Each structure stands twice: as C-alpha cells, then as structure tokens.
C-alpha cells in the first residue's frame, strides 16, 4: 500500500511517498484528535463519575491527575521507542492500546479501576501526538511542511476547545461512560486505515539512557503532581507539596547536567543545541498557557457567574475553534512568503489583544463580547502554531523529528499545567482579597435600603438580607479575580513577542537542497 520511503545517507527518510496520502492524513488526524480530545472531554463528567464510582470530591480528581502524569512521564520515550521497534509498529500499538484503555475506563466500576485504566490510557496517548506530527512531516516534501502542519495543527488546537462541549453533551444525552466509549468506533476505523496505509520505517539501533529517563520521569511526575494538587493542598503549607517541589527541582537539575555530560543521553545533544528548537520550547510553554488556561477559567465563569447552560457555554467557546481554522488556513499560505518570525510575534500580539478585551468584561454583558474575543484569540493562536512548528523543524535533521515532536508536545503540556495552576491559584487569592476590599466599602450610606445596625432585630429576615449582600459582594469579587487572571495571561503573551527575534529563519535554499538530495 505504501511506497518505500525516499532516504538520505545513513538510511534516514526525507519523506515517505504514499499512494493514498489523503486517506493516511485522515487516519493520522483521527488518531491525533481522538487523543487530544481526552485531555479535556472528561473534565465536565467528573461530578457524575464521583457519584457513580463512590468517590469523594478530592479523590475523584485523580481521574484527571493520573492521565496527565502518565502522559508526561511516557512522552520523552517516543523517539527511542520509535527507533527501537519502528515508528509504524509503535503508532499501531499506541492507537490499539488507547482504544482498549478507553473501553476499560468506560466500564470501570470503582475509582481504583478508573485511575489504573486512565494511567494506561495516558501512557498510550503520550506517543500518539508526537508520532502523528512526525508522520505528517515525513509524508510531505519539505516545501509542503507548512501545509501539513496547518492540517495537523487544526486538530491539535481545536480538539481541546470542542472537548468540554462534546463531553457535556454526551454526559447529558447518554451517560458519562460515553465520554470514553466514543473513542472506540473512531479508534477502530483509524487503526484499520493506519494498518493499511502507514509506511514502515526501519528500526534503528539506539542505546537506551536508563538513568536519564528514570531521573526525568521522576522529576516530571513530581512536577505534574505539584502543579495539579498545589491549589487543593494550599501549596507550600503542605508537606506533600514541599516533597514534590524538592524532587522536581533535584531530578530535573540532575537530568539537565546529565544531558550535557553523558556520552549517549536520552535526547540527541545536537538537537538541543539548535537555537530554533530551544526558543520554540519556550514559546510552547506560553502557547500551552494561552490555550488551556482560558479554557479552564471560562466554563465555570460563564456557568456560575452568568448562569449559562453547559451547552450554550460550549457553543460560545467553540468560536475559538472557528478563529483557529481561519488563521491556520491563512498562515499555511503565508509561510514561505512572509518571515515566519513576524507571524509568530503577530499571533501572540493578537492573542494578547483578545485577553485585553476579556479584561474589560462586565457581569451585565451578553454573549457578543465572549464570541468576539474568542474569535480574536483563535485568530492569534492559529497564526502562531504553523510558523512556530515550521521554524522549530526547519533547522534540525529529519532523523530527530520524532524526538523534537515529543519535546514540543511535552513543553506545551507543561505550559498548560503551569498556566492552569497559576490562574486557579490567582483566582482564589485575588477573589479573597477583592472580597475584603469590597466588603470594607459596604456602609449604611453605600446600601441605603439596609441599616446593618438594626438588621439583627428582624431575625432570619435580617440574616437573609445580609446573606444577599454578601453573595453579591462575592459575585463581584469573583468577577474581579477573573479579570485579573486575564490581565496576567495578556502580559505573559506580550512578554514573549520579542522572543521571535531569537528564531533563525530557514535558509532560502533549504528546500532546494532537500529536493536535490531526494534525486540521489
């Protein structure tokens, strides 16, 4: 079904020529979207899982934590495994394992079973994202890489936005278990198409850096646990958080030193010396924050403060997906004609402008400001993704694509975890501070209809009046806290705009060199 890949010296493929590239792209995107949806689709079903599995409000969060930690720990293994057993075999095993783990999650009868199955689901999901990106690059010649990344990026960027909407609809219309069962029919069709069409790539002998992986896995697991549980444990007032912080710092520092001193580290040294790759990793952290932090803030804000139903909330937030699709289509055409660094900087600036719009929201507004700001944010984020990935892969050898893709996906995931933890913590502390400040201004003159000094004479009626005043203060204070979070995200996005100057544009003759090599 698949033609033999065109290869460079050293048996490294430039790109694989396949007969049915369009069908293979559909299969690869199906696997990628299925995996990325699971990062957000289960969130809205957590309350239903809690009652069904007999879990507490604290313990049920391990359904999300276990998946995140397993994915972060396994993702750095992608490059080595792809070389060791072959990328085709790893891709098929990952999709098959993800389907089986999804079926097991849907059938889970206890919290312990659910957490175990989510760990397996996260382990298999970790490989799908990087492999799908490297396959999309390998089946296209260099001059079509921007188009390939635009198609792949649409699924990666739109998936997390559609996840809460789809999860909410499945939970209300059918059952929370279908949040996982929905992966089965899509996964089986995708697996069949990949089995028929996915080109093979010969396994490459490669030493496994056991010490490097072990210390990195321990550091990432500790870091993800710290970020996921920090807000619940009141951060550094908890012994658990101190232990996780110490482990994360020590292990990641040891891994960094090991990377530059070991003879054969987990990741190729030459790849990590590439300026574009290192800069792109920094951008990915902010991109993860900008994409996922607002998606963690907006659903509870719109449902609790504005009283919108979950379906309406999902439909309004889906406008971000429309903006992403439009700007990715535009970016795919502009890359190669416009300096990609300008596109990256402009995209982050547009995203920052959308957060500035959100920082001026009020409690009496309608849907229009949410729709417009979401569309603008989608336009900005979509404009960033393709040029950034094109620049990241432009200056590294083809044999490092899978390793590079795993690192880019990992840093985007870490950025999302960092961002969500920061904004959730800021939301709680800013809400308390604003409540105190607003409460200090509530006097008899400020509330002319109520005399606080005489309310105790009215018994329960007076207590009810005070509760209403306090509820409104809390509502206003919470809104202020959300606006402060939007300001923070805006400044974080603006801060990285100058970083675009550190990116190195690809050589104009790079494509010609690649095409010349392909002729040999």
**188 and 218 share one domain:** no
Has residue 376 got a pLDDT over 80?
yes
Q: Which domain holds residue 183?
A: 9-209
Mapped onto helix, strand or coil, the DSSP state of residue 8 is: strand
Q: Do 414 and 68 form a contact (C-beta atoms < 8 A)? A: no
**In-domain check, residue 54:** yes
pLDDT-derived band at 17, boundaries 50, 70, 90: low
Domain final residue pick, 167, 194, 209: 209
Number of domains in the chain: 3
Which one is predicted more confidently, 113 or 21?
113
**In-domain check, residue 350:** yes
**In-domain check, residue 125:** yes
* Sequence-separated (6 or more) residues with CB below 8 Å from residue 111: 53, 54, 55, 59, 60, 62, 63
Q: Do 238 and 58 form a contact (C-beta atoms < 8 A)? A: no
* Sequence-separated (6 or more) residues with CB below 8 Å from residue 300: none
**177 and 217 share one domain:** no
Q: What is the mean pLDDT of residues 483-495?
A: 93
- pLDDT tens, position by position, 421-458: 888 888 888 888 887 887 766 655 555 555 555 555 55
**In-domain check, residue 1:** no
**308 and 200 share one domain:** no
Is this structure's pTM higher than 0.95? Answer: no
Has residue 25 got a pLDDT over 70?
yes
**In-domain check, residue 234:** yes
**286 and 397 share one domain:** yes
**38 and 145 share one domain:** yes
In 3D space, the residue among 451, 100, 408, 171 whose CA is nearest the CA of residue 271 turns out to be 408
**258 and 197 share one domain:** no
Domain final residue pick, 163, 187, 209: 209
**410 and 346 share one domain:** yes
pLDDT-derived band at 155, boundaries 50, 70, 90: confident
Has residue 153 got a pLDDT over 70?
yes
Has residue 520 got a pLDDT over 50?
no
Mean pLDDT of the residues in the chain:
80
pLDDT-derived band at 10, boundaries 50, 70, 90: very low
- pLDDT at 202 (0 to 100): 66
CATH number for the domain spanning 500: value is 1.20.1250.20
Dist. CA 454–CA 476, nearest whole Å: 25
CB atoms inside a 10 Å sphere around CB 262: 14
Has residue 277 got a pLDDT over 50?
yes
**248 and 292 share one domain:** no
Has residue 110 got a pLDDT over 80?
yes
Min mean pLDDT across 269-273, 335-339, 465-469 is at: 465-469
**In-domain check, residue 160:** yes
- pLDDT at 466 (0 to 100): 62
**240 and 187 share one domain:** no
Percentage of residues in the chain having pLDDT higher than 70: 86
Strand partners, 34: none
* Sequence-separated (6 or more) residues with CB below 8 Å from residue 238: none
Counted residue by residue, the chain has a size of: 520
Dist. CA 459–CA 354, nearest whole Å: 48
**In-domain check, residue 3:** no
**334 and 259 share one domain:** no
pLDDT-derived band at 203, boundaries 50, 70, 90: low
- pLDDT at 444 (0 to 100): 54
Has residue 194 got a pLDDT over 60?
yes
In 3D space, the residue among 485, 501, 484, 490 whose CA is nearest the CA of residue 348 turns out to be 490
**149 and 187 share one domain:** yes
**215 and 205 share one domain:** no
- pLDDT tens, position by position, 46-98: 777 877 787 776 677 777 778 888 888 888 888 888 888 888 889 999 999 99
**In-domain check, residue 4:** no
């Amino acid at each position: 079904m698949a033609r033999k890949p065109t290869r460079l010296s050293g048996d490294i493929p430039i790109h694989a020529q396949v007969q049915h590239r369009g069908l293979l792209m559909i299969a690869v995107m199906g696997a990628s979207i299925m995996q990325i949806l699971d990062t957000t689709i289960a969130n809205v079903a957590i309350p239903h899982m809690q009652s069904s599995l007999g879990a507490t409000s604290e313990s049920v969060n391990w359904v999300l934590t276990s998946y995140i930690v397993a994915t972060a720990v396994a993702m750095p293994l992608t490059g080595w495994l792809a070389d060791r057993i072959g990328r085709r075999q790893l891709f098929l095993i990952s999709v098959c394992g993800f389907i089986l783990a999804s079926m097991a999650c849907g059938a889970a009868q206890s919290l312990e079973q659910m957490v175990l199955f989510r760990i397996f689901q996260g382990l298999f999901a970790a490989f799908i994202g990087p492999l799908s990106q490297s396959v999309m690059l390998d089946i296209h010649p260099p001059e079509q890489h921007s188009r390939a990344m635009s198609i792949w990026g649409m699924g990666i960027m739109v998936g997390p936005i559609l996840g809460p909407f789809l999860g909410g609809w499945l939970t209300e219309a059918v059952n929370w278990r279908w949040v996982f069962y929905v992966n089965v029919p899509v996964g089986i069709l995708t697996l069949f198409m990949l089995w028929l069409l996915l080109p093979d790539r010969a396994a490459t002998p490669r030493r496994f850096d056991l010490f490097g992986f072990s210390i990195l896995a321990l550091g990432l697991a500790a870091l993800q646990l710290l970020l996921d549980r920090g807000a619940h444990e009141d951060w550094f007032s908890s012994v658990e958080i101190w232990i996780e912080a110490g482990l994360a710092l020590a292990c990641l520092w040891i891994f960094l030193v090991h990377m530059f001193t070991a003879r054969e580290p987990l990741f190729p040294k030459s790849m990590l010396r590439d300026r574009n790759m290192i800069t792109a990793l920094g951008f990915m952290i902010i991109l993860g924050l900008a994409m996922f932090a607002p998606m963690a803030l907006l659903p509870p804000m719109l449902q609790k403060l504005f009283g919108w139903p979950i379906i309406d909330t999902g439909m309004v937030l889906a406008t971000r997906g429309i903006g992403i699709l439009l700007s990715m289509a535009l970016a795919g055409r502009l890359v190669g004609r416009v300096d990609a660094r300008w596109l990256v900087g402009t995209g982050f600036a547009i995203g920052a402008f959308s957060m500035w719009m959100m920082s001026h929201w009020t409690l009496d507004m309608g849907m229009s400001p949410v729709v417009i700001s979401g569309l603008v944010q989608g336009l900005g984020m979509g404009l960033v993704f393709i040029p950034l990935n094109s620049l990241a892969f432009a200056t590294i050898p083809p044999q490092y694509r899978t390793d590079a893709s795993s690192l880019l996906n990992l840093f985007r995931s870490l950025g999302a975890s960092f961002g969500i933890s920061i904004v959730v913590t800021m939301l709680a502390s800013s809400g308390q501070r604003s409540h105190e400040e607003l409460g200090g201004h509530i006097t008899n003159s400020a509330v002319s209809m109520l005399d606080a000094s005489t309310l105790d004479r009215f018994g329960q009626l007076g207590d009810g009046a005070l509760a209403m005043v306090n509820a409104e203060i809390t509502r206003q204070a919470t809104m202020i806290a959300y606006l402060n979070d939007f300001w923070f995200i805006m400044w974080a996005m603006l801060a990285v705009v100058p970083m675009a100057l550190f990116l190195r544009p690809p050589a104009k003759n790079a494509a010609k060199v690649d095409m010349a090599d392909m002729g040999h």
